[in-house]
Structure formats: structure tokens, C-alpha cells
Structure 1
């Protein structure tokens, strides 16, 4: 395995990022799942509003984990910029979730708790997660420019 990692460092780095992203995402997912189900069941919120509030809670967990752990070795482009882009990308990810859930509830007529969880918290989160991983790596936490990377490696 070490030979493969040595020959393909970019794949090893990607695998590490996927693993960290997945761990952070799992923690955020637990927060979202718990919050949305509490809001739907205990607070009596509607399916879409409960999904929004639960997702907002999970976004806070995801930002801290991804900025300071998953993508900690990437360029720091400013806390404000990263926060704004993170929120925008999560807004798009949330829209993906809501489309999946809205389709299930309002087009297919599946509005039970199980159907809401499958549409919003499984299918929607799945598609939203794929988008988020790509967006975070590409725009929110970009690679360091080559010149900066070389200086960082050479300096003790």
C-alpha cells in the first residue's frame, strides 16, 4: 500500500480528504437528523421548514470540521470569504435536498415520517453531499498555489 501511495500521492491525498470529509459529514448528519426529526415530531414544524432548520444546525458543525480538519492544509483565503462561500455552497446543497423532499411530498404525495427521512435525509443529503465535496475542494478551500506550496515544503 505504501508503494501505491508513494507512486500516486494525489490519490492518497484525495482518499484522506474523502475520509475526513466523510467523518465530519457523519457528525453533521447526526446533528441534522436529530434536529429535523425533533422539529417535525416534537415542535410540529412542516417538512420543509424542519429540514431547513436542521440543515442550518448541521452547517455549523460542518464548517468547523471542514475548515480546521478536512481542508486544513489548503490555502487560507480569508475567514470571511471562506464563510460566505461555505454558506452559499451549503445553500445550494440545501436546495438540492429540498427539491428531493418537495418532489416526494408534493408530487408523489409521500408525506409520512419515513418518506420524509428517505427523501430529505437520504436521497437529498446524498446528492447534496456530492455537490458540497466538489464545491468545497474547488471554490471554498482551494489548493495552495504551487509557489506557496514549494516555500512551505522547503522552509523548516
Structure 2
């Protein structure tokens, strides 16, 4: 029972750290999005893609060095490749929602752009959380704690031909 409770505590801590980094990433995403929209004449989805790419870079640093700093670090090339792959899928999800709202339904005011950008981020975040924790930042194998999980040592096979004192 205690192992289940500690597992739940670890998961809740992971979600909180993911949320902290992700929340900061959302702010970066929305700030860059609105800045690009304000200072350029780029179409809404292009501005959003730029903002998403900036937030992906921001989030990688936060996830690797804060949220998942205790996870396997042996395959950084694999980790970064998978992070970028799953982030690209998240980018398509996030900006697909904005594209559909803007060009499919004609909802193209600044307020509507921000609402659907935020909704897209939310949907993509669910996918990203699952994919990052499952595939990108893999958990290291559990090492039993001798204090909380004392396991007897395996019996050693008897050697033949030894004298017993």
C-alpha cells in the first residue's frame, strides 16, 4: 500500500513540475504570438507556429533540467530527436485547432485568435505530457531501498569439496 501511495506522490509531483514548466511555456507562447501579431503582418497561423517553436525550445530546457532531471540521460540524441518529433505533432495539433477556428469558422478577431490558440495548447499539452513521459524522458529502473524494501539475498549454491569447520 505504501508503494502505491509513494508512486501516486511521485506522479503528482511530476504533473506539478510539468505544469510549472508548461505554464511558463504557455506564457512564452502567448507573449511571442501576440508580439509577432502586433509587430508584423504575418497571418495568424504563421505567427502561431513561430511562437510554438520558441516555446518548444524553452520547454525542452525546463523539462530536461527541472521536470525530468532525474530521468535517463544516456541517450541525449535519441531524447532530443523524440522530443522534437512529438513536439512537432503537438505543434500540428495546437495550430490545427487555431487554423480550423480561423479559416474554417471565420473566427479571426484578436480575442478569438488567443482563445483558440489557448485551446489548441491545452489539447496538445495532453498529448505532449503522455508522449514526453512515456517515450522521451524515460524513467530509470527502480532501485530497491534496503531500508523500506529489505529483500533477502539469494541463497548461494553450496560448493562441493569444501570442509565445514
- The structure with the larger Rg is 2
> How far apart are the structure 1 equivalents of 2:2 and 2:112?
42
Corresponding residue of 1:55: 52
Gaps (5+ residues) in structure 1?
none
> How far apart are the structure 2 equivalents of 1:111 and 1:5?
52
> How far apart are the structure 2 equivalents of 1:7 and 1:24?
26
> How far apart are the structure 2 equivalents of 1:8 and 1:68?
26
- Is residue 2:120 matched to residue 1:99? no
Kindly tell me: are residues 110 and 16 of structure 1, through their superposed partners in 2, closer, same or farther at Cα, counting changes over 3 Å?
A: same
Corresponding residue of 1:88: 85
Per-residue Cα deviation, 1:64-111 (whole angstroms, up to 9, x for no partner): 110111011112241111111111111011111111011101111101
The size of the alignment, in residue pairs, is: 146
> How far apart are the structure 2 equivalents of 1:7 and 1:56?
37
Per-residue Cα deviation, 1:51-76 (whole angstroms, up to 9, x for no partner): 11001111111001101110111122
Gaps (5+ residues) in structure 2?
147-165
Deviant stretches of 4+, over 6 Å: none
CA RMSD of aligned residues (A): 1.7
Whether contact under 8 Å (1:5, 1:11) holds in the other structure is no
Under a length normalisation based on structure 2, what TM-score does the superposition of the two structures give?
0.82
Cα displacement (A) at 1:6: 6.6
Match of 2:125 among 122, 129, 136: 129
